[in-house]
Amino acid sequence: MDLKNMEKTRELRVALVSEGRSIEEESFAIIEKEAKIDGYSDQEWTIVRRVIHTTGDFDYANIVKFSSDAVESGINALLKGASIFTDTRMIAVGLSPWRLEWFGSSVETPIRNHETQYLAEEWKTTRSAAAFRIVADRLNNSIVAIGNAPTALLEVVRLIEEDGIRPALVIGVPVGFVQAAESKELLMSVKKVPHIVSVGTKGGSTVAVAILHGLMECAREDR
């Protein structure tokens, strides 16, 4: 590619980025106008608004719940470069590399370890649960983000209650009809670790990503 074509390509990319930002800003303005905001702090609303933007679902203005120290603890963890542990590769892939670079945070998805299949059979549990059990000693001061597997969230809660692990923040938003709502209710009953949840059956990996991105934006502003 010659210099002239390279310059045209660069200009096109800049224009596309600018257009993307304009669309995002317009979307946020619509959300601000249409959503019924009740009881969120400014930083919590920054996160919830991004979830609504990602999903196109205004229900999230009512079902995203924060423990009192969730945002502060998550921000402090990011500013210290905390690792992020996810239950799905979709979350890991969905996180913006340039946002992660702001804090130097690494992202790990324990279920990628092939041993989880054999350990799950040995422990008579799911691979998702086994995945978090084998990294339990590394979860302290980390951010845990679960968007798909209720059994992973149940295992994290068990590790908190029985083994005394202390993540800086647990984002529990598994989606589905089996154990999803129950696992989130259980997390909310735990007072020992800050948490963000989506009450009920709604959630998913994209919601977990949106929450993390919103939290990162808040942390960048606080830095």
Round to whole Å and give the CA distance between 41 and 204.
Answer: 23
124: left (phi over 0), alpha (psi -120 to 50) or beta: left
53 catalytic? Reply is: yes
Query: Quick check: 144 and 170 in contact, CB under 8 A?
Result: yes
Cα torsion through 118, 122, 126, 129, rounded to 10 = -90
Sheet containing strand 107-108, strands side by side: 64-66, 195-198, 169-172, 143-146, 84-86, 107-108
Question: What is the per-residue DSSP string for 111-172?
Answer: GGSTHHHHHHHHHTS-HHHHHHHTTGGG-TT-EEEESS-HHHHHHHHHIIIII----SEEEE
Nearest to 173 by CA among 202, 139, 151, 144: 202
- The total number of residues written for the chain in this structure: 223
Tell me which residues are annotated as active site. Answer: 53
